[in-house]
Amino acid sequence: MTGQSQNDLIKSIDFMVCRLSQEKTSFVDAVTKFQEFLKANKYSAEIVWVQPDDVLLTDKRLFYVRVSLPHAREKMAQQMYEEGIARQRGVLFRTICDLDGATGSHVWVPASDDEAARSLMPSGLKLSVQTDRIRGVP
């Protein structure tokens, strides 16, 4: 990089993204990589999986988040991950908000090959964290 540090570059974008190898990785290994990525970006490595229906947006950069049935949410995240890898459209693990010592996170899988291409998804795992954090209230 010329004249600009990596930290300056990261601050200039909304999300920090890490694309991992195209090799198939188990859900447990993918979550471990995500936790390492979270820690490297100063997020809590404790993950609370949420779905869009679990989040209520406010106009004050604050999210209200329904946090229920963590085991069921993790199973749903695992199922989405495995389906995305099997379809070779890629899987995105991303942060949604900070939740009292945990990180509210979401799994997203493109619905089509076209959506995967438009989202620049690899066939494997893509990790993303928000650089402009939003506080979540459970």
Question: What are 27-43's pLDDT values in tens digits?
Answer: 999 999 999 999 999 99
pLDDT of residue 19: 52
Q: Which of 3-17, 99-113, 121-135 has the lowest mean pLDDT?
A: 3-17
CA–CA separation, 101 and 114 (whole Å): 37
- As a whole number, mean pLDDT of residues 54-73 equals 78
Name the pLDDT band for 132 (thresholds 50, 70, 90): confident
pLDDT above 80 (res 24): no
The DSSP secondary-structure symbol of 68 reads -
Q: What is the pLDDT of residue 115?
A: 92
* Cα dihedral 69, 112, 33, 23 in deg (nearest 10): 130
Are 95 and 39 contacting, i.e. CB atoms less than 8 angstroms apart?
no
The pair of three-digit structure tokens given for residue 98, joined into one six-digit string: 């900070």
Mean residue pLDDT across the chain? 81
d(CA 13, CA 117): 21
pLDDT reported for residue 16 = 52
Of residues 69, 79, 73, the one with CA closest to residue 109? 79
Mean pLDDT of 91-98: 92
Of the chain, the percentage scoring pLDDT greater than 70 comes to 81
Read off the pLDDT band of 54 (50, 70, 90).
Answer: confident
Query: Quick check: 131 pLDDT over 60?
Result: yes
